[in-house]
Structure 1
């Protein structure tokens, strides 16, 4: 059993990782290293999430069964037990598969169709969410010969969930501060991939190549298809099954101020009895979608969001004051607070960071 001293030491070290201003991959790797001091595990899966739609992005993982990655993703999205969208409202927040199923893991479609074949005995799941959104989720796996996760171990992970959520949110905020390159718009045309329900790729446009190279730089994409593509498609099928109602789209930073927007939709088909394929569209993230993530990443207040959105619509100080029913001085004070949160010194720089290059071109 983990001592209170060991748990406090782990919490302090995780807090220090947040203070180190690491990018998200290094931050998650560091947190996993600290977690091993208080909870043992054989494998793990840790995606980030679009805080608006909850769809997985930028996953990191070390688990068996990589050749069956599409099946793993599809099953995870359609399995309601310990789903990351449910965990934030669960009294414990961190819950093991054995506990959630009353020691009957076969109740989980994911365990019955995949995990059991790889000897997985238990999975401890935790979601990292705060009042601004869901920032990711972590699943720790235990394999053959290992024991189930105890309530005490689940409590250890649960006690860190809020701290890690803050760390992930701040990682997202720093991605907006990396700057915008001049070719963010002109270098990347809209791309389309067509997928079957088993998430295999049927076809893709030539323009997909550059986007696929940008998405998920590590680990190596499954057969050249980044997990973000599979995630939005799996979310679409989850919505169709009534498992979840969030949109099947995501917004993902791919480097140097470039954000990719991914969305999935079901095609129509005239073939009798045939299942229509799924299209996944990839393009530069639209300003409104990017702004929604920006506001959550920097933990903006409702009034700060109002001011930023109205400013993006073209209102000046007088217009903002009149629209919001506040004085010009209050408008200026709110902007000063925004500048401090976001690390900029002007409204132009703030809007460029929040909206990206598409807004500048009027797209």
Structure 2
């Protein structure tokens, strides 16, 4: 059981790493970190002594004064090194640097200098360091106007704002979930590469990314259809986009009912990707679900009975409640990293149709149980 601490655990990458490590409870114990530890030597030393592994992610990405970025990022590493030396720690340190190391800007310089400072500490102390040089990271829950252009565009497009392309460059990208896998791999293998070039997994021009996001808005957000997703990158980008929508006010979405003297007809989903369709019956008072997915796209469609569908983003306390009635058939889609359930709140049997983009695989279910 390795004890892992993450500086910047509430940041974009830190949140994803923290929540992912929680899924492997028999392998990792998490040591919580608070931003104030950097201002309190005793608290920082206590944190360091508890950790077998420290993943240093805390950093300032943007500021009006570039020199503040440089001073902040190098200062945080110096404080960490001082704590490591005071406690004579032998922890495995993993630091996230950036491909901007090669550029002559304060952020790139600060990340390279921080990696080199920890490299020198490791050489002198006999410690272990993984110095990850990382391309552009994208994924759910990044901060618009701060973490990445993808986060900014997802927010703007989904909220009907007008994005602006300053430079239509070619971006080398890695999905945050893929980066987390690389970090976990480094922890497990006790990697000691002081300059580890993390490969990008996709490349696209800024205009291409914006075009895809606008397409997702038109097809999915406006028409309720699942778009054609041609490759793994597009699936990850679509899942990212869905998490920037105003979910509490977007769902539930009513279906169009076609009725005549024979009864009613409702189209559940149009989708440009393969998947699995199933249905369930649920007796009154019973709740199904209480789990979440990290990659799957899923739709719940209530066609008969009364239901309460609940969603809660992992790591938060806010629960979103959606009430559906088969007399007015409607659906709710499940964003990734949101635990969800469905409860029969009526007096009759509840009939629900489920669509998911990949057939269930018992060896790789991507189904993690957590009560809403």
Pair in the same fold by TM > 0.5? no
From the CA coordinates, give the structure whose radius of gyration is larger.
2
TM-score bucket of the superposed structures, by smaller chain: under 0.3
Greater strand share, 1 or 2? 2
Between 1 and 2, higher relative CO (CA 8 Å, sep ≥ 6) is seen in 1
TM-score (norm 1): 0.27
TM-score (norm 2): 0.26
